[in-house]
Structure 1
Amino acid sequence: MPVSIGAEVAPGKLSSVVTYLETTAPPRIIGEPPAPPGAAIERLETVPVSLYRDLYRRVGEAWLWWEQLQVPDDELAARLRDPAVEVFMFRRSGDVIGYAELDRREPNAVEIVFFGLVPEAIGQGLGRFFFARMQEIAWQSDPHRVWLHTCTEDHPRALGFYKAAGFRPYCRERVIIDDPRSTGLLPAGSAPHVPPVR
């Protein structure tokens, strides 16, 4: 999987390697992680834009998630109203600790568009349970494949996590993006593991 070479990275830009992964068969989960005490996963039948943006920021700010922050409210609301777009909240003892989004609009495929935990919930084994449940839900429509993507700004263990869950990389690409910290979409102190280009 060759990675195309992008242009030289200018100040205020970031060079990001995006890895696309897929699986073409439901996971054979042996000893699926049990539900943590107090854990609950809820599909949101109605998703207000304000709630969605809050979930997106709380989970993604540490990893420079930015795309949905610049989508106009009416466009985002229309997507969230689509019955083929499913948003889930992960709670523990009533507190929101993660969210995920599935997109079934592509025929015979399901994309796990977003998946993650709030920073304070990472490293406790909660992600394994949550992701196993999302895989199970994704396969309920009997698609030909389930796919997702991750990038170099994501959690350092994200790629290995998805591989361990049965996903295999099928494409990589290098893209040059505006650093969302330099454009004001995200606070300057976000994602200290990703040094800005000055």
Structure 2
Amino acid sequence: MLLPDGYSDIPHGKIAAVVTHLEMTARPPLRDDPPGVWRLRKVDSPALDWYRDLYRRVGEAWLWFTRTGLDDADLASRIHAPGVELYGLVVDGQDEGLLELDFSVGGECQLLYFGVTAKFIGTGAARFLMNRALEIAWARDVSRVWVHTCTFDHPAAVAFYQRSGFRAFKRQIEVADDPRLNGKLPRDAARHVPVIG
């Protein structure tokens, strides 16, 4: 169904975001690594508590909710799935960034989740993390790397991905239950998105 031009009402208790899909089909030149003491570590068979904590610390401010509220079996099946790789961005011994790559579709890599905690936004940590993500992805036999972001994410997210070599190829509207009203996220999460319930 195509949305008509103009405004479309969203029912109370729902949220709606514009989702932009971006891709690259050739290995781009990497931007220079920024100065900083960061390290990437691969997390094999990640513990569910570790994942939930980092996912929350990176994504709660941007209304990441897809993985919140999943039971242990469902979450484990996703993050331990064949072809899925998880990495933590380590700063002073603490994981402060999340990189989740999915190689399960032949010939491509999806950046499932990518981000740093609030205190490292604007420090260059995300550029360091993206450089490592692209190195890992393009070291495999892939012809496409892709990601999607939405209007709930950081306002500079699309521009960041474009500076990293991605180009936009599709736009969608995502409508979902507001996770702050059903208990999946705290009521004060993502203050830039008003709660209408």
**TM-score above 0.5, yes or no:** yes
Q: Is the 8 A contact 1:4 1:174 kept in 2?
A: no
- Structure 1 residues 74 and 96: alpha-carbon distance in aligned structure 2, compared to 1, 3 A threshold: same
SS in structure 1 at match of 2:68: helix
Is 1:20 aligned to residue 26 of structure 2? no
Q: Give distance in 2, aligned partners of 1:177 and 1:193.
A: 17
Paired residue for 1:177? 176
- After superposition, give the CA deviation of every residue in 1:95-115 in whole Å (9 maximum; x if it has no partner): 221111000001111000000
Deviation at 1:34, TM superposition (A): 4.6
Paired residue for 1:166? 165
| Aligned residue identity for 1:182 | L
Paired residue for 2:86? 87
SS in structure 2 at match of 1:56: helix
- After superposition, give the CA deviation of every residue in 1:31-88 in whole Å (9 maximum; x if it has no partner): x215622x11000012111111111101000000001113331122123223411000
Paired residue for 1:104? 103
Paired residue for 2:195? 196
| Aligned residue identity for 1:112 | L
Runs (5+) with no aligned partner, structure 2: none
Q: How many residues align?
A: 194
Q: Give distance in 2, aligned partners of 1:171 and 1:106.
A: 19
Runs (5+) with no aligned partner, structure 1: none
**Normalising to structure 1: TM-score of the pair?**
0.92
Of all paired residues, the percent bearing the same amino acid is 40
Paired residue for 2:116? 117
Q: Give distance in 2, aligned partners of 1:158 and 1:164.
A: 10
SS in structure 2 at match of 1:137: helix
Paired residue for 1:8? 9
**Normalising to structure 2: TM-score of the pair?**
0.92
Q: Give distance in 1, aligned partners of 2:16 and 2:36.
A: 37
Q: CA RMSD in A?
A: 1.6
| Aligned residue identity for 1:64 | L
Is 1:36 aligned to residue 53 of structure 2? no
